[in-house]
A = this chain, B = another copy of it.
Amino acid sequence: MTSMTLADVAAHAGVSTATVSMVLRNRGRISTATRQRVLAAIDTLGYVYNQTAANLRNRRSNQIGLLLHDITNPFYAEMTAGLSQEMERHDLMLFLANSEESVPRQQKFVESLLQHSAGGMVLCAARQTPPLFFEVLKRRNIPAIMVVRPVNDACFDFVGTDNFLGTQLATRHLIAMGHRHIAFIGGAAASATRAQRLGGYTSTLLENGLAIHPDWIVCCDAGQGAGREAAAQLFRAHPAITAALCYQDVVALGVMQALRALNLHVGRDVALIGFDDIIEASLVEPGLTTVSVAAREIGRTAGGLLFSRMQGNDEPPKRIILPPTLVIRGSCGFSG
């Protein structure tokens, strides 16, 4: 099966390549008669459209890139599903790269996207990304949407959630449940997102006349194991703590393990709230109360925005902040 070209189809149908191209793309006026002939020819020849040639000719491709740092994190997996769905609606192909926080890998991926004349990209940039990266990207003026992790550069569109409000909601809930000794576990010290979440927590404590104990605020990596370690230390050192707000659900899951090992019953002895609302949050026993950021929705929204940019939407850069909601399950106990 030596591959057929537009010219072969044209010959077979007795028309020109221009006509075939127009039929394929529903452009221009083509009589129903010739359209039928062309379609028939395509069918009998088993013709496969060559998107590469079209992309070359158009100087732009129908490919977009998604850069993540950890596809293994359920939150990002969920977001990816949302984006993928949206991309498919628009007949766009999705390139995926997993930087694992490596700046060179990220750099290389973006360069590849440029080499492929990608129509745009959705980025959740690695933490150590140098400002120059964004400068260069800007100059290329290819649509780029930042997600989840905001960038100190108002030139880029951003889709994310309101971290501050999220932890405010969570902290208020814990206080309403009667807790006065609330810890904050997780996140990387240098993370801007963490700063916001921490802000929602501390400000709510202060608003309610509660003291802030720096010792009750600990960082840890985004993993179950890290959460477990951190919590084990924390709760041993500070038995007064009766509730914890976790930077992420995965951390909260680790904290649950640690508490169990300490013979503390989550939902009765200690209240726990996570952030992200990953699937696992509803599966564990007791269910994890958590701040839901609609990961899938972030993906869909970013996809929609990117598509509109690719269509030429040149409104000023937007920051779309999806409101978080508190999903209440059993991990904080139940109020009367």
Contact = CB atoms under 8 A, between A and B. Distances in A.
Interface of A: 1, 3, 48-53, 55-56, 59, 61, 63, 66, 70-72, 74, 77-78, 80-81, 84-85, 88, 91, 93-98, 105, 108, 111-112, 114-117, 139-140, 224, 250, 253, 256-257, 260, 279-280, 282-285
A63 B53 CA distance: 15
B71 A114 contact: no
A74 B111 CA distance: 29
A71 B84 contact: yes
Contact of A49 (B115, B257, B282): B115
Given A1-B139, A71-B84, A80-B96, 6 more contacts: A48-B115, A51-B117, A70-B81, A74-B74, A88-B105, A95-B95
Given A71-B80, A85-B98, A53 B56 contact: yes
Most chain B CB atoms below 10 A, which of A49, A70, A96, A114: A96
Contacts of A80: 71, 96, 98
Contacts of A56: 50, 52-53, 56
A9 B72 CA distance: 41
Copy tally for this chain in the complex stands at: 2
A105 B56 CA distance: 26
A21 to B, nearest CB: 14
B224 A283 contact: yes
Contacts of A59: 3
Contacts of A84: 71, 96-98
Nearest to A260: B285
A94 B71 CA distance: 13
A326 to B, nearest CB: 21
A97 B94 contact: yes
Contacts of A284: 280, 283-285
